[in-house]
A and B are shown apart, each in its own frame.
Chain A
């Protein structure tokens, strides 16, 4: 297929997944801000922004970390290329360009999300609860993904979509876990305190994974269990391991379809090897933040290799 078509498909997936992540982050932020905090002045919203890596861009335009500003920036702001509105618009535009590589259902799902977004943008903000916005986003990203899984031909286009979803999700999960680092950093001394466990619980709830966690692990929340669940457990749909395996599946399929191994396959194998060798203890020994930063960098390197090997057209 045309490299540009593959690139468009890959980015449809990345944009939709990115929109979902932002919705999840907004939910985490909203819940955290409801908790009584130790100092009483900590602003969890700032940590959410840090997780998106966009604090500087935000501060150029907004003067405080008030919830309304964060909502504007992360949901509505068209100047922010990574806002939910921008992501959904970009995903739909990418879909329009490669309309013929999609099924009617996939296009419908993308187009419906876009058309509804335009209605939301015309609705007065006073009528828009944050929970409604995040629910709406999560629902539509799931609809697109569902339409893809249910109707799309299992060809290379499907692989590029899956690559986009998995790479974006790997990066996003790592960043969401990392939010905890930003929140807890100033209070590194109070490890295991009640507030910390509350925040881990919040994270699970925002990711819609709290029940799954309890079924899988039972007992009290501990940092080790959660790290295992979100990083290493291939049963968890958002775990880094799961994403890594999905990346690997898509790339293996592409390699056999095209009869050609590329740097992308090599990097994916290295990523999985790293995760296979990891244990919760080793991760905490290295430091959670350091581990996650390394993982995020490796994922970015892998995304670059996918771009060079398949999407750029310069082979």
Chain B
């Protein structure tokens, strides 16, 4: 298999990487090692660590940071920008629709059972339109590149996509360590992100809110692997980071417990799942949520971002219909393509998948974090056969996609610089307006040949540059 290398085309350096070629050649190995150590020390000092679920080991593990930036030209980004915003609009239109009249289903464009019987479909919010009609306020769209102009959307994240702190910290780190690079090349800044996020969240305050909306971030707590990010964002935005027990319902509103007494909360950017939001509405055993929160939400006393129920739009089976959503709601042709996907729930597709397991990537419909997936070409025969049995046991739980030839970018490795596979997760903000900072989180599969970029599976992160015009 051949892969598109984002820096070199045949033996030529592609223009966006021209500045980096000289930088790379001028950097002696010892300086590189010293800078890498410096970066690691800084990351550890600020406390950006990442706990990996179920792996034990060091809970203070760092996500590896690769200093070699990934670069997009202004024109490349312009297309991505339009495509991402288009998709974010369509996903929100879909959510408003399926919790309202369900026109897209009545029109026969998406099967009813896929949506209405979906675990992520919340009957509790049927008939309720959240402020500004927005369900998913932060849409993280995972994109891979396979050629000079070929981009595919791998999946959508409509609930609470994580990783944006790495986007911001990677940039901080690069500017701190290599200020010259930023003087020589004009790179679009990403540091407006937290202002835009705060503005987005405030813009969806409920109608009952009086004055300047009070925004909080709701975290499951300091044992959560993404706690650093929660506290990082709260700090940048200047809002409180709360746990469920810090909030309580009194009458028709939600309040936080402060040293000065109760303070009303208008917008909750929650980083916990629907199921844990309110033990009176969802899982009664949840200790992370706020009893009575959903009644306040439904009666317009507080906004919850992302809106409960938003998850039905980022289900991997619903994913295959996103291009259809773009056409149906926006009357446009999708700018970004989906990866061709086979749904094992459908007999014909299942047959194809089982016959071609060795070439396909098979994923759980509700899985995330790179767990429970099969990468056919990288698996042994035993692994494939074991997975075959798993699929046969519950076909509707799986989808399959061709193994994409993910692009590579130069990455610092032990021996020097070598190509490694990357993907991209930009964070699109949807409120009164729709905003996208030029950049995103580039994840890199650090193991040679690996196509799995998830940080829980040995992936690292890079700074992502969008060149100014």
Contacts from A to B (Cβ < 8 Å):
1-6, 93, 96-97, 99-100, 104, 107-108, 111, 156, 160, 254, 258, 260, 310-315
Contacts and interface: CB of A to CB of B under 8 A. Distances in A.
B234 interface: yes
Interface in B41-65: 45-47
Contacts of A315: 257, 261-262
A3 B231 contact: no
Nearest to A8: B222
A4 B245 contact: yes
A2 B47 contact: no
A2 B222 contact: no
Contacts of A104: 45-46
A2 B258 contact: yes
Given A2-B242, A4-B246, A107-B47, A100 B259 contact: no
B22 to A, nearest CB: 34
B231 A2 contact: no
Contact of A314 (B46, B234, B257): B257
B246 A2 contact: yes
A100 B258 contact: no
B260 A260 contact: yes
Interface of B: 45-47, 222, 231-232, 234-235, 240-243, 245-246, 256-262
A3 B241 contact: no
A313 B47 contact: no
Contacts of A100: 231-232, 234-235, 241
Contacts of A6: 259
Which of A108, A160, A313, A315 gathers most chain B CB within 10 Å? Answer: A313
Nearest to A312: B257
Contacts, number: 54
A97 B235 contact: no
A42 B231 CA distance: 53
Contact of A3 (B46, B47, B234, B259): B259
A156 B47 contact: no
A309 B234 CA distance: 26
A96 B261 CA distance: 24
Nearest to A160: B259
A254 B46 CA distance: 30
A3 B258 contact: yes
A216 B243 CA distance: 50
A220 B126 CA distance: 84
A111 to B, nearest CB: 8
B292 to A, nearest CB: 16
Contacts of B45: 104, 108
Contacts of B232: 100
10 contacts: A1-B240, A1-B258, A1-B259, A2-B240, A2-B242, A254-B259, A258-B260, A260-B261, A315-B257, A315-B261
B234 A96 contact: no
A3 B262 CA distance: 10
B235 A310 contact: no
B254 to A, nearest CB: 14
A1 B262 CA distance: 10
A72 to B, nearest CB: 26
A2 B234 contact: no
Contacts of B246: 2-4, 313
Given A100-B232, A160-B259, A260-B261, 19 more contacts: A1-B258, A2-B242, A2-B259, A3-B246, A3-B257, A3-B259, A4-B243, A4-B246, A5-B240, A93-B222, A99-B231, A100-B231, A100-B234, A104-B45, A107-B47, A156-B259, A258-B259, A258-B260, A313-B257
